[in-house]
Chain A
């Protein structure tokens, strides 16, 4: 079994900073199975939206385009999992493909949620200002490639003090709820149309 070469970063690739150019694209969020929809509300079950543990601590997604919906079935495992999936790819570094069976497996029972970038990037959540901590939380879509997947993107939440990930207690809770709420509000399980990504965006 061979890991798809098109998912790997290449030394001539660069970070995609122009997220607005991807407005019509969708992000895919993998889920442990396909039982994603709550039968009562017909919305996504909240427990399927959880933050990464480990180094990145954010909401991990894949940009659908060169990364295809079925690419979620490639799952990195083993001793090199940290290296391939939890450390960011140092831009310019040449990568050796994960090898089978030590580094990856193919699990075709995983589910997925699809998220429109134009709904999430810049989404502003107005926390009430009558309390002592009035502020707005803003969602940003960031390109955060890892060694096994150049098309890895993260959802992060920012306030006036910066990235909420680096702030204490209550902010993380607000961020978690806002992320879950936004993904339930805008997420869908139907596969979006796969669009072509302009090469100059990332080379």
Chain B
């Protein structure tokens, strides 16, 4: 698992705000960027250690791939999110992507479902994790995850966003 340090790139929420500030109609365009590597590197807010830079670049690359996939799936499946704030969907999905990537899965993918959910599949060396954000009009977004270890369910959690993400991160941090 990647160590969470203060000099990691900004979180999804901050990045989203950055994006919204830069874009006149972000939701209409469906574009999504959490952080801009070039600007981030220029800001000089991270260690000059080469290995550390490599980790950050790798993280950024995986993040870019994941958000690009999310954007593609969102364009195909956004009709299921009628009456739901697209900003909320993007904000939560981007944050989830960042948090799951911090646990360093070997493979990760995302899908947008007809049930107004965003579903992440994260495969680790010994675990498979399934994380789903459920969206509904006028309701708090809930996150549910199930983790399987060698085909056996070992942990499941459902509830509000922050406690769910905490539980998820803690599980992989202990390993």
Chain A residues packing against B (C-beta within 8 Å):
38, 40-41, 43, 45-47, 50-51, 119, 123-128, 131, 133, 137, 169-170, 173-174, 176-178, 180-182, 184-186
A202 to B75, CA, bound (A): 46
**Is B109 a contact partner of A181 (Cβ separation < 8 A)?**
no
Q: How many residues of B are in contact with the other chain, CB < 8 A?
A: 35
CB-contact partner of B157 in A47, A119, A131, A186, under 8 A: A131
| B20 cross-chain contacts in A, Cβ below 8 A | none
Measured between beta carbons, the chain A residues less than 8 angstroms from B144 are 173-174, 176-178
Known: A46-B119, A178-B156. A40 touches B108 (CB 8 A): yes
Query: Does A173 contact B134, Cβ atoms closer than 8 Å?
Result: yes
In chain B between 112 and 128, which residues have their CB closer than 8 angstroms to a CB of chain A? 112-115, 117, 119, 121, 123, 128
Within 8 Å by CB of A176, from B115, B145, B157, lies B115
Could you say which of A40, A123, A174, A180 contacts B158, with CB atoms under 8 Å apart? A174
Chain B positions within 8 Å of A, measured between CB atoms, are 69, 73, 77, 107-109, 111-115, 117, 119, 121, 123, 128, 130, 132, 134, 139, 142, 144-146, 148, 151, 153-159, 163, 167
User: Can you name 19 extra interface pairs (CB under 8 A) apart from A46-B111, A47-B119, A176-B117?
Assistant: A41-B108, A43-B109, A43-B123, A46-B130, A47-B113, A50-B113, A125-B153, A126-B155, A133-B159, A170-B142, A173-B132, A173-B142, A176-B144, A177-B119, A177-B144, A177-B145, A178-B146, A178-B156, A185-B128
Question: Known contacts A41-B108, A124-B153, A180-B119: does B148 contact A185 (CB below 8 Å)?
Answer: yes
Expressed in whole angstroms, the Cα–Cα distance for A38 and B69 within the complex equals: 11
Residues of A within 8 A of B148 (CB): 181, 185
23 A–B contacts from the bound complex (CB under 8 Å): A38-B121, A40-B109, A43-B123, A45-B111, A47-B77, A47-B119, A51-B115, A125-B146, A127-B156, A128-B157, A133-B159, A137-B156, A173-B132, A173-B142, A176-B117, A176-B134, A177-B146, A177-B158, A180-B132, A184-B121, A184-B130, A185-B148, A186-B151
